[in-house]
């Protein structure tokens, strides 16, 4: 039967691993949100450029992709534990993206 010290060492190892996994998960969540924000912006800009050039099918496709990435951010962001500078940077990107997404409503 393991003694108390062995159990304590194992408990600390498990807790350290859980903390590391939690940090990795948070970091991956931030990366995911930032990637989706960037994708949404890129597709949105592409949609507007295609629409201006008269390529309605391409504009619709890009607008749909932009809105899909934006919805992923809306769904995932409330669950994300992010604070400080990271939160501010995401908020700035999101603020710029919202006005772009609104412009995409002209593409039908």
Q: Is the pLDDT of residue 106 over 90?
A: no
| Interior/surface letters 75-94, b for 16+ CB within 10 angstroms, e for the rest | eebeebebeeeeeeebeebb
- Which of 3.10.20, 1.20.58, 2.60.120, 1.10.3720 would CATH assign to domain 4-106? 1.20.58
Is this prediction's pTM over 0.75? yes
Q: Which of 42, 27, 43 is nearest to 80 (CA)?
A: 27
Give the residue carrying structure tokens 């997404």: 101
Listed by start position, the domains of the chain span 4-106
pLDDT by residue (tens digit) across 20-79? 998 888 899 999 999 999 999 999 999 999 999 999 999 999 999 999 999 999 999 998
3-state secondary structure of 13: helix
């Amino acid at each position: 039967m393991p003694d108390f010290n062995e159990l304590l060492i194992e408990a600390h190892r498990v807790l350290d691993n859980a903390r590391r996994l939690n940090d990795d998960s948070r970091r991956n969540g931030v990366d995911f949100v930032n990637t989706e924000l960037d994708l949404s912006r890129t597709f949105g800009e592409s949609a507007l450029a295609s629409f201006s050039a008269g390529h309605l099918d391409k504009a619709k496709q890009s607008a749909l992709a932009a809105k899909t990435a934006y919805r992923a951010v809306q769904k995932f962001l409330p669950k994300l534990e992010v604070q400080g500078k990271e939160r501010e940077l995401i908020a700035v990107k999101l603020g710029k993206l919202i006005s772009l997404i609104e412009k995409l409503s002209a593409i039908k």
